[in-house]
Structure 1
Amino acid sequence: MAQRIKIEKPKVSENLPPFNFHDIFDQEEPYLHQCLISNCTIDRVTIDKLDLTQVVFQSVNFSDVSFRNIELTDVVFDHCDLSNCDLMGASVHRVEFIDSKLLGVNLTEAHIGNVLYKNCNLNLSSFGYGNFKQVRFEESSLKNADFYECRFNKIKFEQCNLDEVNFSRTPLKGTDISTSTFQSLIVALEDLPGCVVSPQQAIGFATLLGLKIKE
């Protein structure tokens, strides 16, 4: 039986005060705490080591944004567009991405723990060399996403599109893909042991071993 991946929810308060993101440039340090940012566009912004704690983004469009080494703790992205954002080296803890678009987002070398991606577009996203612990992808599309040489611990892809996802040099022991769909994956046979798959998926992987399935 597949294990249930428990994800700690973001610890955010209700009735957060609104904040204009561009006011952050009036502060000595790029730090935001306990605020709501909604219905706006954040574009052409580059900030290194931005620190966000207990922040909710609602219907925010990020365009031409680079937040390398960003620290996200207890943050919610609800109906946001983070396509092509550069978040390389991010630290992401107790964060939810809900009904959001992350097409081509750069999260290489990120540390991602207790994170939920639900009903998101993650096609062409880059997670290479990342460290994942207690992460769940639900009803999301990850076509051509890159998980090259990642470390997985308690990861589940639930009813996701994983077509052409790259899992090269990423051991999948304990990773649950049994309810997800794909035509093909980029994965080495030595990284498959312990991966949780459906009977139909198991037959597909058996063909990679050169086995002939007798009907």
Structure 2
Amino acid sequence: MVTRTFGLTTITLPELDEPGLYLSNVDSLDSSRGTVQDFAYGDADLRSLGLAETQLVTGCIACVRAKRVEFEGVNLHGVEIGDSELGSAHWTGSKLTRVRFRDCKLMGISLDGLVLDDVLFEGCKLDFATFEKVRVTGPVAFVGCVLTEATFTDCDLSDVVFTDCTLRLTEFGTGRYRNTDLRENDLSAIRGVANLAKVRIDPGQQSDLAEALVHELDIIIGDD
């Protein structure tokens, strides 16, 4: 079992080098049976990539570039997605378990109604991403990611770890953030500070949150 630990969270990753496991190269992620298993899919340059009511189980997606992505009811279990660019992506009503996103460009991606369990976003570009009604039921971490102007709305991010991330104008809207670990990040330019009840920070980050709150409330500091 392959695991990674960040802060107080340990994530179980896809184990694709398991002895006896063979991944078959596939030309498409679509299947008439609704399930694609033990697969390798990659080196594709697509205008669009659409999937619905599909299970992707034990496999890797690498070097895929798609200008438009539409996933609805697409569940992943034991899958790694690496070095890929998913443009204008809209992903709804799905569950991701033991999934790793590595060095992916997911700028502007919309994740709506997803359930995350043992999911790692590592070295990903998530600028302008929107997370809506995303619910975490197991370990989740964002490591070395860029989340400039990303937005979290009505999400349950309890116990999620953000580490070494760019959180410039990242907005944390209404939701649950109990024990969300924001240590090792610059928090001075985040939005939605008032919603971050019960998060975990380092002592030195108190001034970051104060600065973010001053900017958010457009407070004028001075004697004049």
Question: Sequence identity of aligned pairs in percent?
Answer: 20
Match of 1:54 among 44, 53, 58: 58
- Provide the secondary structure at the position in 2 that maps to 1:160: coil
Tell me, in whole angstroms, the C-alpha distance in 1 between the residues paired with 2:7 and 2:69.
Answer: 37
1:1-215 maps to which residues of 2 (within 5 A)? 3-12=7-16, 13=18, 15-21=22-28, 24=30, 27-132=31-136, 133-189=138-194, 191-206=195-210, 208=213
CA-atom RMSD in angstroms? 2.2
- Work out whether residues 10 and 96 of structure 1, in 8 Å CA contact, stay in contact via their aligned partners in 2: yes
- Provide the secondary structure at the position in 1 that maps to 2:205: helix
Residue segments in structure 1 that go unaligned for 5+ positions in a row: none
Tell me, in whole angstroms, the C-alpha distance in 2 between the residues paired with 1:169 and 1:65.
Answer: 27
- Work out whether residues 152 and 171 of structure 1, in 8 Å CA contact, stay in contact via their aligned partners in 2: yes
- The residue type equivalent to 2:172 in the other structure is F
- The residue type equivalent to 1:20 in the other structure is D
Which structure dedicates a bigger proportion of its chain to strand? 2
Q: Deviations over 1:122-174 (max 9, x none)?
A: 11111111102311111110111111111123210010001111111123220
State the shift of 1:20 in Å: 0.7
- Work out whether residues 128 and 151 of structure 2, in 8 Å CA contact, stay in contact via their aligned partners in 1: yes
Which one is further off, 96-105 or 124-133? 124-133
- Work out whether residues 149 and 167 of structure 1, in 8 Å CA contact, stay in contact via their aligned partners in 2: no
- The residue type equivalent to 2:209 in the other structure is F
Which one is further off, 78-87 or 93-102? 78-87
Tell me, in whole angstroms, the C-alpha distance in 2 between the residues paired with 1:53 and 1:182.
Answer: 37
Q: How many residues align?
A: 206
- Provide the secondary structure at the position in 2 that maps to 1:21: coil
Relative to structure 1, is the Cα distance of residues 42 and 180 closer, same or farther in structure 2, using a 3 angstrom cutoff? same
- Provide the secondary structure at the position in 1 that maps to 2:130: coil
Tell me, in whole angstroms, the C-alpha distance in 2 between the residues paired with 1:130 and 1:154.
Answer: 13
- The residue type equivalent to 1:147 in the other structure is F
TM-score, normalised by the number of residues in structure 1: 0.86
